[in-house]
Structure 1
């Protein structure tokens, strides 16, 4: 008789603090920009929230805004860099706002449109599914420090195996969301809680 396999109990999704581009609405994929001063304050405000919880694993996107948030939130020394937590690769849309893009492409939206020189929905969905599979075999509670779109995609894949579901999940800077289970069903236990 085989022993029952343990699995992850909760996955905390922590979005990085404010940047100049998150303020302006510019698509910030792989451009490695720092937090604003307010973003640093938001990240530091997460420290007492996260200190009340024991994390068995901590992962961060390699990008500066996520790593800085992780450090200021008090978990930087424990964090492992995880390339699958990089933000959506926006390709030719990097640094542009949706209204700017729609002047040339009126029906454009990241969730349904092709992304030249970047990732389309299927590509980011495959990346998110791969990451979820590796998280499911971990034991205990996991913290992920990353970016709005990849975290929304992860949540969509978690509850519905669909990256497109992320289009319906708004996520503010320095927010904390929790994925977990309701009995055997994957569930969102908390979404977009703001502390900063």
Structure 2
């Protein structure tokens, strides 16, 4: 059976979070992010036989609740949470790049042994997302929809397409976007990437 896997990134978080590392930090959607979530409703109404999944973080739960009218229709999967940036949480990209360029280079190179200071290692993050991909592939539902985060979506694309994790940063996943993968036998074909057509004119 061919399965549709629809990956939804939470809505926008506003200017206060722009250009900053936001992983485990439990921030809410901005007003713009709430509008993006509302714009997803039309897309989701067309789906049948769906298993709904959601990260436990506030921004994804808000996105699901607004888009679906309720969040309790989703199964909360802790493994769908964003990577933990440790001490980098809430700090600006440029600030970290200026203060510790060598460490940033290791992260940008996706060194599997890299661990964010007091945070999560890329190896552990990869294992976590690999487990999610396995559960989604084995899910009996014809369509699986997951409300999650940019980093998670990028890694899931790599896992389903058989790409090495180092290709993670090649994919642009914007807030409120939909990405779709057609999965059969655990292998995927990317059919939509960073789709924001539902936001046009909104």
Question: Normalised by the size of structure 1, how large is the TM-score?
Answer: 0.89
- What CA RMSD, in Å, does the superposition of the two structures yield over aligned residues? 2.1
SS at match of 1:191: strand
Match of 2:54 among 47, 52, 60: 60
2:11·2:36 contact (CA, 8 Å) conserved in 1?
yes
Q: Partners in 1 of 2:16 and 2:191 — Cα distance?
A: 25
Q: Partners of 1:182 and 1:54 in 2: how far apart? A: 18
2:83 aligned partner: 88
* Count of residues in correspondence between the two structures: 190
Q: Is the 8 Å Cα contact of residues 21 and 27 (structure 1) preserved in structure 2?
A: no
User: Is there any run of 5+ residues in structure 2 with no aligned partner, and where?
Assistant: none
Q: 1:124·1:163 contact (CA, 8 Å) conserved in 2?
A: no
Counterpart of 1:143 in structure 2 is: 145
Per the TM alignment, residue 181 of structure 1 is displaced from its structure 2 partner at its CA by: 3.6
Distance 2:124 2:186 in 1: 28
Does residue 115 of the first structure (1) align with residue 110 of the second (2)? no
SS at match of 1:44: helix
The 5 A counterparts of 1:72-83 are 72-74=66-68, 76-83=71-78
Deviation by residue 1:109-147 (Cα, 9 ceiling, x = unmatched): 544353121112211110011111111111210000011
Offset of residue 22 of structure 1: 7.6
Unmatched runs of 5 consecutive residues or more in structure 1: 1-5
Q: Aligned pair 1:40/2:34, yes or no? A: yes
Q: After TM superposition, give the deviation of residue 94 of structure 1 in Å.
A: 0.7
18-27 or 168-177: which moved more?
18-27
Which runs of structure 2 are paired with 1:118-133 in the superposition (5 Å)? 118-133=119-134
How much does 1:52 deviate?
1.2
1:167-192 Cα distance to aligned partner (Å, 9 max, x none): 10110000000011489842111100
Maintained 8 Å contact 1:125/1:157? no
Secondary structure at 1:129 match in 2: helix
TM-score by length of 2: 0.86
Question: What do residues 54-107 of structure 1 show as CA deviations (whole Å, max 9, x unaligned)?
Answer: 242101000110001011111624201000000011111111122110111224
